[in-house]
Amino acid sequence: MSAATVSRTAAFCDRPSLRQCWHPVARSADLARDPVGVTLLGDPYVVWRDEQGAVVAAPDRCPHRESPLSIGRLVDGHLECPYHGWRFGAGGRCVLVPSASEGVPVPPKAHLAVVRTEERYGLVWLCPGEPIVGIPEIPQDRDPAYRRLNVDVELWTTSSTRMTDNFLDISHFPFVHTGTFGRAQDTRVPKVELGPLDACFYGYSYEVDVNNDGLGATASGQAATVLHRRMTSGFCLPFAVRSTIHYETGLDHILLLLSTPVDDTTSLFTFVVWRNDDFTVPTDEILRFDKAIGAEDKRMLERVPGVLRLDATTLVSVQADKASVEWRRRFMALLAGEEPVVSPAAGA
């Protein structure tokens, strides 16, 4: 399939190559007690932690009579189907059929067809197929000078393509983010120069003045009413966007914005923050500011109907949209099965 063929439709969830990418579907902390049901690219999965503590994911359908397994329970690390009590252990192996007489073996087809899972950055990632791109690399995750902060996974009634386009775009800040940081920003966007930000992310650098009051002052740790920030914004296929904020005090605030397609017009949203601060401001106080920014984007995006047009000609773009236009070009190449241009190596 060529990129030109892909461009004629903006729907994307049925494209096989997206099943060969890693998608964050839950926080690791969400698997503390019960199995979790998630929908990825239109397909339902059950995710749980097995008796050894490893994350297991499989289609959310019992091989016996198709009960959703995510409404079952965990018994000693085994996932128990709520209908007839079959139990599934590590690697999705069926370990118990309660109705079977002693000594009768479990039917070979009773085992679950598990999909690849990985835990990274406090999140559970799924890849239903053979991976062709890796999970985005954030080197600060291994740097003891930085702490990592996670938030809940939310459901947004918008497309992952619209979210990625929005997360790469800074020209909406003075209009959408007036309740948080955007009022002090010049509406004119300086020339966008695209290039590799590192081995994983592709995007651009810019400088911006932002409001610094209320929750923003807590997050920045500074008192001035307007602050100058040096920032970068870049993407890693398919839907990860990293926004780095460097304050003049030396504080770095790194945001990994993640959207996961539930289907073409519904998405999961979560973000991860890394900061090299003195670890004194409580996590909740820092995250409240970024959550308020996310809520502003959600409110805007949920009022824009349908999926994002992917081809370069239907929508009118200006130079401030350069990063999004380049992301769309590469995303279409990925959908078409062409080699991804920027991404970490396949595997986790």
Q: Which residues bind ligand FES (CB under 6 A)?
A: 62, 64-65, 67, 81, 83-84, 86
Annotate each residue in 217-246 with x if it binds Fe ion (CB under 5 A) or - if it does not, as one string: ------------------------------
Q: Report how far residue 179's alpha carbon sits from residue 292's, in angstroms, rounded to the nearest whole number.
A: 8
Closest approach of Cβ 306 to ligand FES, in Å? 37
Q: How many residues of this chain interact with Fe ion, rule: CB under 5 A?
A: 1
Q: Report the residue number, 114 or 251, with the smaller CB distance to ligand FES.
A: 114
- Number of other residues whose CB lies within 10 A of the CB of residue 335: 23
Residue 299's binding partner among ligand FES, Fe ion, none (Cβ under 5 to 8 angstroms by kind) is none
Q: Is 165 in the site for Fe ion (CB under 5 A)?
A: no
Query: At its nearest, how many Å lie between ligand FES and the CB of residue 124?
Result: 23
CB of 88 to ligand FES, least distance (A): 10
Angle between helices 322-335 and 160-167 (to 10 degrees): 140
195-196/116-120 β-pairing: unpaired
Residue in 57, 20, 55, 22 with CA at minimum distance from that of residue 38: 57
Residue 86 interaction partner, one of ligand FES, Fe ion, none, beta carbon < 5-8 Å per kind: ligand FES
Instruction: Provide the token pair at 98.
Output: 């309660």
In this structure, what token pair is assigned to residue 120? 């990274």
Positions 285 through 304 that interact with Fe ion (CB under 5 A): 297
Q: Residue 67 binds which one of ligand FES, Fe ion, none, with CB within 5 to 8 A depending on kind?
A: ligand FES
Closest CB to Fe ion belongs to which residue? Answer: 297
H helix or E strand, kind and range, residue 292:
helix 283-301
Residue 85's CB: how many other CB atoms inside 10 A?
A: 14
Pick the closer one to ligand FES by CB: 46 or 237.
Answer: 46
**Distance of closest approach, residue 111 Cβ to ligand FES, in angstroms:** 13
Query: Given the rule CB under 5 A, which residues bind Fe ion?
Result: 297
